Amino acid sequence: MFPEGLTKGYRNFMGDRLPKEREKYETLSEGQSPEILLISCCDSRVAPEVIFDVGPGEIFTIRNVAAIVPPYESGGEYHGTSSAVEFAVQSLEVKHIVVLGHATCGGIKAHATGAGPLSKGNFIGKWVSLVQPATDKLKAEGDDPEKEGYLTRLEHAMVAQSLENLLTFEFVRERVESGKLKLHGAHFGIKTGDLKVRNPESGKFESVNESAGKPLSPGALMACSNA
């Protein structure tokens, strides 16, 4: 049986939201033109549309374990995240890419603690092995997994690593260098609601909320990121 919660939610959508936004959905049926690609974790507690208070058609989203962007590579057969990045940049011509990490990320923790496989395929283990370069950078800086706050620093470091990985895609790098595309890193605190944006010059994550629990719109996020 289809989940009752989804059925109920859909009926509420049809009875309340759709009638009010009929014109918007009719326009969206003809195509999409979002200016922002947002790459987020698939964690159920981190919902980009809720955090940034946006509706359908406003942001193009990619969600995967730990919000990881893999580096460009031409081998293999299946590239879900890479293909979505390609579509957003090459077809939709987005103007901004935001990599959004978050607090208490299970994928980051799994890599940091060397968690065992959940199945014979060890799909998560193989995927989060992409966190290793970020781990190595923290180690080179003298950081230690035993130090307080290490997982948060690793979450931040992985956002930075994903931004670096984006630049390994030639079509991303070319648009960044031409000024047509800007890359941003951010981190969301689930408990506090605090949003931190990565300062591209210092590499530090700085709070852009005047008060915890008050999420910013994508426009405000971009303004803070470019400040």
Summarize pLDDT for 63-87 with one digit per residue, the tens.
999 999 999 998 878 899 999 999 9
Residues 6+ apart with CB under 8 A from 177: none
Residues 6+ apart with CB under 8 A from 145: 112
Same domain, 42 and 102: yes
In angstroms, how far apart are the furthest CA atoms of the chain? 57
Q: For residue 208, what is the DSSP state? A: -
The answer to whether residue 148 scores a pLDDT higher than 70 is yes
Residues 6+ apart with CB under 8 A from 174: none
* Average of per-residue pLDDT across 9-23: 96
Query: CA nearest 189: which of 85, 105, 126?
Result: 105
The answer to whether residue 222 scores a pLDDT higher than 90 is no
Q: Are 130 and 184 in contact (CB under 8 A)?
A: no
Same domain, 10 and 84: no
Same domain, 20 and 78: no
Same domain, 117 and 160: yes
Task: Report CA-CA distances (Å) from 113 to 84, 96, 108, 122.
Answer: 29, 33, 9, 15
Q: What is the pTM of this model?
A: 0.90
Same domain, 16 and 86: no
Same domain, 117 and 11: no
Query: CA nearest 183: which of 221, 210, 151?
Result: 221
The answer to whether residue 13 scores a pLDDT higher than 50 is yes
Per the structure, the complete domain to which residue 217 belongs is given by 33-226
Token code pair at residue 158? 């992985």
Task: Identify the residue with better confidence: 209 or 224.
Answer: 209
Please enumerate, as own/partner, the contacts of 145-153 that have beta carbons within 8 Å and a separation of 24 or more. 145/112, 150/112, 151/104, 151/105, 151/108, 151/109, 151/112, 152/103
The answer to whether residue 40 scores a pLDDT higher than 90 is yes
* Average of per-residue pLDDT across 212-223: 48
How many structural domains is the chain composed of? 2
Share of the chain above pLDDT 70, in %: 92
Same domain, 12 and 68: no
Same domain, 118 and 10: no
pLDDT of residue 223: 43
Question: Residue 32 — φ and ψ, nearest 5°?
Answer: -125, 150
